[in-house]
Amino acid sequence: MTVAVYLLVNKFFPSEVIQRAAINRWLAENKIAHSSVQWFIDREDKTEFEQLSKDIENGSIQTVVMYSLEQAFTSISSITDAIHRFASKNMAFASVSQGIAFDQESIMSAHALLTVVLNLANHHYKVRQQQGIEIARAKGLYKGKAPGSTKPGFNPKKILVWRNRGWNAKRIAQKLGVAESTVFRYMRIMRAK
């Protein structure tokens, strides 16, 4: 088992020299030998991050250290999913620039806390959205989606064609860029015709 360090080097983050210096300080403070560290550094794409993910899945990584959470995760839900994956593999995790570090015991608590925060944020978003819709309706500015309206470029007839080829709803939804519930809804509508 090893310690994996992930860095993303681009115009949105500090230079590789600055990131490496911060990581090396953290490794020294935590008495982690450089011989047990494997570096994953992405510059243009995220091929190294993909390799890191594979190494995590196969169990060869004990600890993940990164300069900043934003380098690998784009949302609270993706962070929560990663923390859950780390916890299920009994791993430790640290984000050096943000001063976040979870050992193998505390990562379960971190996952529970992040899940609560995510649920609260989603609830708050939905409440605010509904309030905005109600205000817009009262002013006559919001009438809702027109019945039968679809996304630009969305062709519901393709659903039945792909379904007849044996594709499942999840695969069809991914291909069309819609939710599975949308696929099921259009399947019901088209069968009723």
Q: Within a domain: residue 141?
A: no
The CATH number given to whatever domain includes residue 35 is 3.40.50.1390
Of the pLDDT bands very low, low, confident and very high (cuts 50, 70, 90), residue 38 is very high
103, 172: one domain = no
Q: Which among 76, 46, 59 has a CA at the least distance from the CA of 1?
A: 59
Asked whether residue 81 falls in the same domain as residue 19, the answer is yes
pLDDT digits (tens, 9 = 90+) for 117-172: 778 888 888 999 999 999 999 998 888 777 767 777 777 788 888 888 888 888 88
Q: Which of 112, 145, 178 is the last residue of a domain?
A: 112
Q: Are residues 66 and 161 in the same domain?
A: no
Report whether pLDDT(1) > 70: no
How long is the chain? Answer: 193
- The angle, 0 to 180 degrees and rounded to 10, between the axes of the packed helices 157-164 and 169-176 is 140
Task: Determine, yes or no, domain membership for 120.
Answer: no
Same domain, yes or no: 21 and 97: yes
Q: Give the per-residue pLDDT at 189.
A: 80
Q: Are residues 78 and 171 in the same domain?
A: no
User: Which of the listed residues 55, 80, 112 is the one where a domain comes to its end?
Assistant: 112
Residue 67 lies in a domain: yes
Is residue 180 one of the residues assigned to a domain? yes
Q: Is the pLDDT of residue 24 over 70?
A: yes
Whether the per-residue pLDDT at 11 is higher than 60: the answer is: yes
Cβ–Cβ < 8 Å for 32, 61? no
State the DSSP string of 39-95. EEEESSSSHHHHHHHHHHHTT-EEEEEES-GGGT-SSHHHHHHHHHHHHHTT-EEEE
Pick the last residue of a domain from 112, 133, 168. Answer: 112
Within-domain flag for 143: no
Mean pLDDT value of segment 3-8: 92
- Spatial distance between the Cα atoms of 129 and 180, rounded to a whole number of angstroms: 23
Output the pLDDT for position 89.
Answer: 83
Question: How many C-beta atoms lie closer than 10 Å to residue 5's C-beta?
Answer: 25
pLDDT in tens, 54-108: 998 888 898 999 998 888 887 777 887 888 888 788 888 889 998 888 887 777 7
| Overall domain count for the chain | 2
Residues of the domain holding 87: 2-112
Q: Are residues 99 and 171 in the same domain?
A: no
pLDDT recorded at residue 148: 66
Q: Is residue 19 domain-resident?
A: yes
